């Protein structure tokens, strides 16, 4: 009778059958054998209800879960498992002093670009981010110019990216364009020689300011190397290497654009300890008061010295033959040099003598530590 009622409900409405099937499944797990009998007595409804609750993901949903995308033209933020893997492969280190350096760079560039363009220029720092070099190259909006520069003292390279808006704005300003009108863009063509030369002049100004911004921390010269328009030809590091990217905004009234500086962590390695400082001149783990006190106490420390007249090498067989009254002959005489040791470290050379009925050593040479040679 119950089975017949269930059969009638399945033809008219599926809702009650699903609920009864789920209830039967729970009863089977809780009641053991009795539950299994009940679930069997409920017919095929339990199996159908469980099958309807199981959903198979399609390929698009699997790609979204893993963080992959077939659309290569669209630049999207990675999500899902792929984002977790990428973040785990690269560990970034915060460099507090670098923020101070680039804040100084913004102030210097504001003055320098005003003198360069004879216009009202405002430079602002958008943000400082850390990412992989390969990810940055793939995210550069084209067309753009990429200036490769070398840090002479650090013996490594960096990259500066000037976007299309800033290029046309600089060209318009330097060639006498009127204020209040946006720079005209002509997309789909390569940059002319005049445009490249004008942008190169601006790049030299920025590099001079960047060198001056690093001067209080560590003197360094950033030398312009080449100008590229294809990111593949501006590869200065492995795609998986970490880098610092500084994004600057340059506004000239109603004109302007973005300028980005990329410096690999390998380039900053020579001054890494300086960049880890929280403020200029910070000394990690050092206390001048404690250092002075320690130096004063060291001068008053008692040191035990031992004078060694001579040494000989004997095998264990001869030593075992020693008895009371045995004599050991050394190859030294009263005029031989005597070595002074502090522990196991040789310190001085001298000659043995006598002073006030006591044996004394007159020091005449200093021994180089670890080598036993005279200075």
Asked whether residue 280 is domain-assigned, the answer is: no
Please check whether residues 136 and 262 belong to one and the same domain: yes
Lowest mean pLDDT of 2-16, 86-100, 167-181, 335-349, name the range. Answer: 2-16
Asked whether residue 292 is domain-assigned, the answer is: no
Domains identified in the chain, total number: 4
Return d(Cα 24, Cα 38) in angstroms, integer.
Answer: 7
pLDDT over threshold 60, residue 220: yes
Peptide bond into 143 cis (omega under 30): yes
Asked whether residue 321 is domain-assigned, the answer is: yes
Of residues 38 and 287, more confidently modeled: 287
Chosen domain end from 41, 74, 89: 89
Residue 138 and residue 75 in contact, taking contact as beta carbons nearer than 8 Å: yes
Please check whether residues 141 and 250 belong to one and the same domain: yes
Please check whether residues 74 and 108 belong to one and the same domain: no
pLDDT given at position 41: 44
Please check whether residues 108 and 72 belong to one and the same domain: no
Domain region containing 80: 59-89
Lowest mean pLDDT of 70-84, 99-113, 175-189, name the range. Answer: 70-84
Q: How far is residue 145 CA from its own chain's centroid?
A: 26
Asked whether residue 44 is domain-assigned, the answer is: yes
Average of per-residue pLDDT across 50-68: 67
Please check whether residues 269 and 161 belong to one and the same domain: yes
Please check whether residues 307 and 332 belong to one and the same domain: yes
Residue 187 and residue 143 in contact, taking contact as beta carbons nearer than 8 Å: yes
Per-residue pLDDT tens over the stretch 182-214: 556 666 678 888 889 999 999 999 999 999 999
pLDDT given at position 222: 92
| Local structure of residue 134 (DSSP, 8 states) | H
Asked whether residue 374 is domain-assigned, the answer is: no
pLDDT band at 99 (very low <50, low <70, confident <90, very high): confident
Please check whether residues 186 and 266 belong to one and the same domain: yes
Of residues 53 and 262, more confidently modeled: 262
Please check whether residues 150 and 22 belong to one and the same domain: no
pLDDT band at 14 (very low <50, low <70, confident <90, very high): very low
Lowest mean pLDDT of 44-53, 120-129, 305-314, name the range. Answer: 44-53
**Longest CA span, the chain:** 128
CATH number at residue 328: 2.30.330.10
CATH number at residue 190: 3.40.1550.10
- Angle in degrees, CA 215, 216, 221, rounded to 5: 10
Return d(Cα 202, Cα 28) in angstroms, integer.
Answer: 78
pLDDT band at 223 (very low <50, low <70, confident <90, very high): very high
Please check whether residues 103 and 181 belong to one and the same domain: yes
Sequential DSSP letters for 297-314:
HHHT-----EEE------
- CB neighbours of 298 closer than 8 A, spacing ≥ 6? none
Residue 241 and residue 158 in contact, taking contact as beta carbons nearer than 8 Å: no
Residue 247 and residue 129 in contact, taking contact as beta carbons nearer than 8 Å: yes
- CB neighbours of 93 closer than 8 A, spacing ≥ 6? 265, 276
Beta-sheet strands, E only, within the chain: 122-132, 144-151, 156-163, 222-228, 242-252, 255-264, 306-308, 337-342, 345-355, 358-366
Asked whether residue 294 is domain-assigned, the answer is: no
Average of per-residue pLDDT across 137-164: 89
Coil, strand or helix at 332: coil
- What DSSP element (H or E) covers 52? helix 45-53
Return d(Cα 266, Cα 270) in angstroms, integer.
Answer: 8
Please check whether residues 220 and 345 belong to one and the same domain: no
pLDDT given at position 79: 57
Please check whether residues 208 and 176 belong to one and the same domain: yes
Asked whether residue 372 is domain-assigned, the answer is: no
Burial 57-75 (b: 16+ CB within 10 A, else e): eeeeeeeeeebeeeeeeee
**How far is the first Cα of the chain from the last one, in angstroms, to the nearest whole number?**
112
Return d(Cα 104, Cα 95) in angstroms, integer.
Answer: 15
Q: Average model confidence (pLDDT) for the chain?
A: 76
Asked whether residue 182 is domain-assigned, the answer is: yes
Please check whether residues 321 and 361 belong to one and the same domain: yes
Coil, strand or helix at 187: coil
pLDDT band at 234 (very low <50, low <70, confident <90, very high): confident
């Amino acid at each position: 009778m119950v089975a017949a009622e269930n059969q009638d409900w399945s033809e008219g409405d599926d809702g009650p059958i699903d609920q009864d099937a789920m209830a039967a499944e729970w009863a089977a797990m809780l009641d053991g054998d009795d539950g299994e009998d009940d679930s069997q007595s409920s017919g095929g409804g339990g199996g159908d209800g469980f099958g309807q609750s199981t959903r198979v993901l399609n390929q698009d949903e699997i790609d979204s879960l893993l963080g992959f995308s077939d659309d290569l033209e669209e630049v999207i933020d990675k999500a899902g498992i792929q984002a977790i893997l990428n973040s785990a492969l690269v560990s970034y280190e915060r460099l507090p002093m670098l923020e101070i350096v680039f804040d100084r760079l913004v102030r210097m560039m504001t003055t320098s670009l005003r003198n360069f363009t004879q216009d009202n220029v405002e430079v602002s720092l958008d943000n400082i981010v850390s990412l992989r070099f390969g990810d940055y190259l793939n995210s550069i909006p084209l067309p753009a110019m990429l200036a490769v520069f070398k840090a002479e003292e650090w013996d490594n390279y960096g990259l500066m990216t000037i976007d299309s808006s800033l290029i046309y704005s600089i060209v318009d300003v330097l060639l006498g364009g009127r204020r209040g009108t946006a720079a005209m863009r002509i997309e789909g063509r390569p940059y002319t020689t005049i445009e490249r030369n004008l942008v190169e002049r601006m790049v030299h100004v920025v590099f001079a300011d960047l060198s001056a911004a690093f001067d209080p921390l560590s003197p360094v010269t950033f030398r312009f190397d080449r100008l590229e328009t294809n990111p593949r030809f501006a590869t200065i590091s492995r795609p998986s290497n970490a880098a610092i990217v500084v994004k600057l905004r340059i506004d000239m009234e109603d004109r302007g654009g973005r300028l980005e500086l990329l410096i690999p962590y390998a380039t900053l390695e020579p001054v890494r300890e300086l960049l880890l400082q929280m403020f200029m001149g910070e000394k990690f783990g050092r206390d001048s008061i404690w250092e002075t006190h320690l130096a004063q106490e060291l001068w008053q420390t008692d040191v035990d010295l031992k004078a060694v007249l001579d040494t000989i090498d004997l095998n264990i067989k001869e030593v075992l033959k020693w008895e009371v009254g045995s004599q050991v002959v050394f190859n030294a005489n009263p005029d031989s040099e005597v070595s002074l040791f502090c522990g196991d470290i040789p310190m001085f050379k001298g000659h043995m003598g006598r002073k006030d009925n006591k044996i004394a050593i007159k020091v005449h040479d200093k021994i180089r530590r670890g080598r036993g040679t005279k200075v």
